[in-house]
């Protein structure tokens, strides 16, 4: 959420405020694109262009209307690179908020589910110290909004301030490679405890996911079915197709986070695990970041990592067609996020009270799974075969101007 100090009062209890980022990213590796989200961004810095202005740049506007003392409405639209490589503004928030009790609010409409510690400020990068939130962690559950409802219950017990935020909804999102993902019965809870300079958070999100993937439907499914149903075919292909089928599969994201900020120094970190009913996408990810504020300067350092815990190869095929089963299943298993870590050093300079300049160096290392082919690309996009088949070290240099108005 944006601070009200920068809201423009339009009268009749209506206010408007905005935010944005103008960023440039340089990559020293031209074999892959670094992107903010490997599922949502089709191009970035590296292979498409060495210096990219599309990775971090965005512009957003938010309008609030305090209709009564208990009822308010909020709408927020953001323009940034989308899966279709366009910049058409998308409505991220459009909800009504009603105060049921002094410490209990309900919101209904289009809202962002609280799956991260920084969910409310992911697009408002001025509110964050880095050029961008650590991609290894914040790339894992790219659900920018849902149509649903949540509750915000605030309670104080002694020195502890609590926020309990359950939510429920449904959403459909477009992704790269012409994929569409549908999350039905998206339910979760966000619990935050604040004690003096310390913040602790735990969250859990559960949903039924369905991927509409043209490659899977046009190539993988008919291929596996033909192997499964052929005379003297491979019955293993039938069971593997059922396991890999991306329709209506359970998925959950459990995460914890903690932060300490005394105004002069900060230390924060989050850790999360994705679990699915499919063979795909079981990952562990997390980061830790620390920094200090010295006047207008804020130097910081971050370490982030993602680990793929899913199998990346299959050799259980049987019969004369077993080799084809193994090849297809292994190909699908390697079409996922792979192991990657990033070491980051950065500096923020607060030019004005609403404008921040940032510069950041990232050293990104990817690794293969025991030397296996096509497992070395981490969470990069638009990769070459040589990048996929080996461990890689990429130096990334980023600058940005973040602002609110």
In order along its 405 residues, the chain shows pLDDT tens digits of 555 667 888 989 999 999 999 999 999 999 999 999 988 899 999 999 999 999 999 999 999 999 999 999 999 999 999 998 899 999 999 999 999 999 999 999 999 999 999 999 999 999 999 999 999 999 888 888 999 999 999 999 999 999 999 999 999 999 887 889 999 999 999 999 999 999 999 999 999 999 888 888 999 999 999 998 877 789 999 999 988 888 999 999 999 999 999 999 999 999 999 998 775 678 999 999 999 999 999 999 999 999 999 999 999 999 889 999 999 999 989 988 999 999 999 999 999 999 999 999 999 999 999 999 999 999 999 999 999 999 999 999 999 999 999
Would you say 79 and 120 are in contact if contact means Cβ atoms under 8 Å apart?
no
- Predicted confidence at residue 227, as pLDDT, reads 92
- Predicted confidence at residue 168, as pLDDT, reads 98
- Predicted confidence at residue 7, as pLDDT, reads 81
Q: How far apart are CA 37 and CA 174, in angstroms?
A: 13
The per-residue b/e assignment along 216-247, b for 16 or more CB within 10 angstroms, e otherwise, is beeebbebbeebbeeeebbebbbebbeebbbe
Crossing angle (nearest 10°) for helices 322-333 and 235-244: 10
CATH of domain 28-54+100-404: 2.40.160
What count of other Cβ atoms lies within 10 Å of the Cβ of residue 356? 23
- Predicted confidence at residue 23, as pLDDT, reads 98
- Which distant-in-sequence residues (6+ apart) come within 8 Å of 294 by Cβ? none
Residue 55, token pair as written in the block: 């990775």
What count of other Cβ atoms lies within 10 Å of the Cβ of residue 138? 23
Sign of CA dihedral 3, 205, 145, 59: positive
Would you say 298 and 348 are in contact if contact means Cβ atoms under 8 Å apart?
yes
Instruction: Write down the domain spans for the chain.
Output: 28-54+100-404
Would you say 301 and 289 are in contact if contact means Cβ atoms under 8 Å apart?
yes
- Predicted confidence at residue 183, as pLDDT, reads 95
pTM for the predicted model, two decimal places: 0.94
């Amino acid at each position: 959420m944006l601070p009200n100090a920068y809201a423009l009062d339009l009268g009749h209890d209506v206010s408007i405020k905005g935010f944005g980022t103008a960023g440039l990213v340089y990559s020293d590796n031209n074999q892959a694109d670094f992107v903010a989200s490997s599922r949502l961004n089709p191009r970035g810095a590296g292979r498409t262009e060495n210096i990219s202005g599309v990775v971090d740049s965005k512009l957003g506007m938010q309008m609030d209307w305090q209709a009564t003392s208990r009822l308010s409405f909020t709408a927020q639209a953001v323009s940034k690179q989308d899966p279709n490589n366009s910049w058409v503004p998308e409505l991220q928030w459009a909800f009504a908020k009603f105060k049921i009790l002094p410490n209990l609010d309900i919101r209904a409409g289009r809202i962002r589910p609280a799956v991260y510690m920084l969910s409310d400020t992911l697009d408002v990068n001025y509110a964050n110290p880095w050029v961008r939130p650590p991609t290894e962690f914040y790339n894992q559950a790219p659900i920018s909004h849902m149509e649903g409802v949540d509750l915000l219950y605030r309670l104080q017990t002694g020195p502890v301030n609590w926020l309990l935020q359950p939510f429920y909804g449904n959403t459909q999102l477009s992704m790269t490679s012409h994929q569409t993902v549908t999350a039905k019965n998206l339910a979760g809870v966000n619990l935050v405890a604040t004690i003096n300079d310390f913040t602790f958070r735990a969250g859990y999100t559960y949903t039924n996911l369905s991927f509409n993937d043209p490659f899977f439907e046009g190539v993988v499914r008919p291929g596996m079915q033909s192997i499964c149903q052929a005379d003297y075919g491979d019955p293993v292909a039938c069971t593997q197709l059922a396991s890999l089928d991306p329709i209506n599969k359970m998925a959950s994201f459990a995460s914890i986070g903690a932060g300490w900020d005394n105004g002069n120094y900060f230390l924060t970190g989050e850790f999360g695990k994705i679990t699915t009913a499919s063979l795909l996408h079981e990952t562990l990810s997390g980061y830790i970041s620390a920094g200090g504020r010295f006047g207008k300067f804020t130097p910081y350092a971050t370490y982030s990592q993602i680990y793929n815990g899913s199998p990346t190869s299959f050799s259980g095929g049987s019969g004369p067609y077993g080799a084809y089963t193994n090849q297809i299943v292994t190909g699908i298993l390697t079409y996922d996020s792979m192991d990657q870590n990033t070491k980051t050093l950065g500096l923020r300079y607060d030019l004005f009270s609403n404008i921040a300049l940032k510069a950041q160096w990232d050293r990104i290392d990817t690794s293969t799974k025991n030397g296996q082919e096509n497992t070395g690309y981490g969470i990069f996009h638009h990769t070459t075969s040589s990048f996929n088949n080996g461990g890689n070290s990429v130096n990334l240099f980023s600058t940005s101007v973040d602002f609110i108005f």
